[in-house]
Amino acid sequence: MEYIAEIDNVKKAVNILENCSEFTALIPEVRSNIVMAVEGADRVEQVVGIPGRITIVYGRPKSVMEPDFMSSSHMARLVLSMMKHDPTIRSAINMKYDPKILEICKKLGLKVSSYNRANEPSDVKEVEGSTIPWGVETAIDKIGIIPDVIYHLGAWGKEPMICLVGPSAVEVAEMSVCIAKLYDIQENNMVEPYTPELEPTDKCHDVIFSPRRGLWKAHKSDVPCIFCAIADGNPNIEEKVLYNDKINMVLMNIFPYTRGHLEVVPVKHYTDINEIGSEEIKKLFCLVQRTISLVKEVIKPDGINVGLNLGKSAGASIEHIHIHIVPRFELESGFMETTANTRIIDEDINVTYAKFIEKLDILRDHHEV
């Protein structure tokens, strides 16, 4: 079948939503639909959705039919309107309106905008299907950038609605699940009980790059030492190397804590910092200095954490000595880590990598810090 990839993506997205009971609370009276357009789409017929929408069965989200084309003209028009501004925004989902949901979206770093259906021009009202394209244009003009979330407060016979957009149905569904979990915690005033048990160090938190920026997908690699594999040039390892002088390396963390999270790593496999000689230590920390300068120049954070985790009990998931350089910001979404086991990064890692590449001269040993 043509465009099977888009249908498969929506199927996976529906499965994600159906396995999240918390998403039930976000389904509006008119029910939810999640759609995804084919690449380069310019017609409603080229958008996949759920016939009959996503409803509630026995208190859980449930798709009543398999994904297909021509299944939601409203959501299809929204996606097509967004694609005119950014062709990578090919998916969207609608949720009920609640100011608390909007607040969660803002805390996650999502760009939020709106339009007022009461201000819809008469000539737009007269043309069938023109309201949503007009609303999208209004929402974009309102904040001067392409939003991740668009909402309206309804009108006569029209339910207020929140729409979340992104590059794929799976990514939109993943973000919706995070929002739903946070909304559930807030609504039920739940506080996660403290447990002294340490989280397994081989388990990394999920990382979601904010919608329409989320193009990077990292996968954990099954090698004895990821840093040694990178130093050896293993072609099967996903990596973002910025610098390697055969003594030390600077890498982007592909499961970052925040945008621009870097690591300074000795090429040689050291497991104890006291194994490193004085000259090597000097070179290592001189590179740490220059890496901090690079982060300040490119990321412009409000602060920076510099740290070593020595041993599993101290949080080290990789025994190979490495130094974290973590940009910090006054407004962060750190609560996602504890409530949904997920971190939200507000810029695609490939975009950040390209920005670092432009300033790589800062890492050279001749550069003054």
Which pLDDT belongs to residue 215? 47
Q: Which fold has domain 4-187?
A: L-fuculose-1-phosphate Aldolase (3.40.225)
What architecture is the 207-363 domain classified under in CATH?
2-Layer Sandwich (3.30)
Which pLDDT belongs to residue 2? 56
Which pLDDT belongs to residue 75? 92
- Does the active-site annotation cover 322? yes
**Chunked in runs of 10, what are the mean pLDDT values of the chain (369 residues)?**
80 94 95 95 93 92 90 88 94 96 87 90 77 93 94 87 94 91 78 41 47 51 87 84 94 86 95 94 95 95 91 84 90 49 64 87 74
Helix/strand/coil (H/E/C) assignment for every residue in 151-186: EECCECCECCEEEEEECCHHHHHHHHHHHHHHHHHH
Give the active site residue among 205, 322, 324, 366.
322
Which pLDDT belongs to residue 282? 95
Q: Write down the domain spans for the chain.
A: 4-187, 207-363
Which pLDDT belongs to residue 166? 93
